[in-house]
Amino acid sequence: MQQFIQKHLLDFKAYEPGLSISEIKGKYGLGKIIKMASNENPLGVSPCVLQVLNKYSAYSFRYPQSGNLSLRKELANFLKVPEKNIIVGNGSDEIIDILIRLLVDPEKDEILTFKPCFSIYKTQAKLQKIRIKQVSLNEDFSFNFDKLSQSITSNTKLIFITNPDNPSGYAVKKDILKEFIENLPQGCFLVLDEAYIDFADPLEDYSFINEFLLYPQVIFLRTFSKLFGLAGLRLGYAVANEDIADYFWRVRLPFSVNILAEKAGIAALKDSFFYSKTREVVLQGREYLSSALKKMGCEVFPSQANFILFKPPYEANELFNLLLQRGIIIRTLSSYGLNDFLRVSVGTEDENNFFLQVLKEILNV
């Protein structure tokens, strides 16, 4: 039946996750697994969110509120921006997909990103038969805005920048971003993917979402998956020009954000203690892990996210497997073209210590 599949999709590869926790336990005979691979919240889920999920699970037979008005109202209060400029989706992935289909004409437009980048940008562009151009990062994983600017043409319709970036954790300060934005040609839009922005320190040096009205060509994209601990519920949001937001709601599937995700999002936004505690744990853990990895001879890259990119004094894939056999899951980066590097998410204090203890034994340092 392959002859009926569109030709540009025939070589599409499905996402291939690693072994599940239960599979790893069975394979290596382990009782406990520490997952430090997916940049999830080390503290888990807010107790306030758990209460709301228990309360509203009985309403799962109901359709969610059309347009997610209650969540948008709470986001408006949290971000200090008008409700009419807020869009919500089934994770950031859905928002990325819709923005591409909404703004980019496959017959003439193109998308521009840095390389490496979040795979969804490339996947969704290819799905829509849209050309994507990529500009290499500098050797230290910083952004090369000169090359990026030189790559913009009259056909460049959409630019994606992840800040802080993944998998490096590098972040550019807002003043440099503003300078780049001010020189964008008319009709060229920037999606500023800020999935990890809440971990930047100091936050005010990097975030300028409250100034979005000054930058109508910028779409600020964020997620509930990281700091808010709702990765399993799939919830993302963005702040955009009023016209873009209006048309987003016209084309988004009506009930793509489920009732539990919406209620959980509202509860998460209200739990300022959990927000602050998560940020504190991540910032302290990030500094601790970075310092310890350097002492073990690893090349560590500065991070403003909830993970650390490092180059170990050991074959990376072999080290990954040795850690896995001891019950520690981190992230290999061959899919990014970074075969000599690994990425570790910041965990709890106990998780960080166990990871470092096992790593020290393997490296014999």
7 confidence band (pLDDT: 50, 70, 90): confident
Evaluate if residue 353 carries a pLDDT over 80.
Answer: yes
Check residue 306 and give its pLDDT.
99
Structure tokens at 187: 């009709």
Q: What is the mean pLDDT of residues 187-204?
A: 98
Rounded to the nearest integer, the mean pLDDT of the chain is: 96
Check residue 294 and give its pLDDT.
98
Check residue 297 and give its pLDDT.
97
| Distance of alpha carbon 287 from alpha carbon 82, whole angstroms | 36
Range of the domain at 341: 2-44+273-363
Of the three residues 233, 252, 271, the one that is the final residue of a domain is 271
Nearest CA to 211 out of 174, 180, 248 is that of 174
Same-domain pairing of 59 and 22: no
User: Which H or E element spans position 249?
Assistant: helix 242-251
Same-domain pairing of 133 and 177: yes
Same-domain pairing of 109 and 51: yes
Evaluate if residue 365 carries a pLDDT over 90.
Answer: no
Check residue 193 and give its pLDDT.
98
Q: Which residue has the higher pLDDT, 8 or 184?
A: 184
Check residue 104 and give its pLDDT.
97
Q: For helices 119-127 and 91-103, give the axis angle rounded to 10 degrees.
A: 40
Same-domain pairing of 226 and 82: yes
- Residues 275-290: pLDDT tens digits? 999 999 999 999 999 9
Write the CATH number for 232.
Answer: 3.40.640.10
164 confidence band (pLDDT: 50, 70, 90): very high
4 confidence band (pLDDT: 50, 70, 90): confident
Check residue 58 and give its pLDDT.
95
Check residue 83 and give its pLDDT.
97
Of the three residues 271, 294, 313, the one that is the final residue of a domain is 271
Same-domain pairing of 34 and 53: no
What is the number of domains present in the chain?
A: 2
Evaluate if residue 19 carries a pLDDT over 80.
Answer: no
Evaluate if residue 319 carries a pLDDT over 80.
Answer: yes
- Name, in order, each residue with C-beta under 8 angstroms of 210's C-beta and a sequence gap of 6 or more: 79, 80, 81
Check residue 8 and give its pLDDT.
86
Write the CATH number for 316.
Answer: 3.90.1150.10
Same-domain pairing of 105 and 234: yes
Check residue 9 and give its pLDDT.
86
Check residue 283 and give its pLDDT.
99
Same-domain pairing of 39 and 52: no
Evaluate if residue 192 carries a pLDDT over 90.
Answer: yes
Evaluate if residue 176 carries a pLDDT over 80.
Answer: yes
Same-domain pairing of 74 and 181: yes
Evaluate if residue 35 carries a pLDDT over 80.
Answer: yes
Sheet holding 299-300, edge to edge: 299-300, 307-311, 342-345, 331-332
| Distance of alpha carbon 28 from alpha carbon 26, whole angstroms | 6
Check residue 138 and give its pLDDT.
97
Same-domain pairing of 6 and 123: no
Share of the chain above pLDDT 70, in %: 99
Same-domain pairing of 248 and 348: no
- Residues 207-255: pLDDT tens digits? 999 999 999 999 999 999 999 999 999 999 999 999 999 999 999 999 9
Structure tokens at 288: 């601790």
- Residues 110-128: pLDDT tens digits? 999 999 999 899 999 999 9
Q: What is the mean pLDDT of residues 185-199?
A: 97
Evaluate if residue 17 carries a pLDDT over 90.
Answer: no
Q: What is the mean pLDDT of residues 40-68?
A: 95
Same-domain pairing of 37 and 56: no
8-state DSSP, 177: H
Q: What is the mean pLDDT of residues 312-328?
A: 97
65 confidence band (pLDDT: 50, 70, 90): confident
Same-domain pairing of 229 and 216: yes
Q: What is the mean pLDDT of residues 131-146?
A: 97
12 confidence band (pLDDT: 50, 70, 90): confident
Of the three residues 238, 271, 304, the one that is the final residue of a domain is 271
Evaluate if residue 107 carries a pLDDT over 90.
Answer: yes
Give start and end residues of each alpha helix (H) in 29-89. Answer: 47-56, 69-79
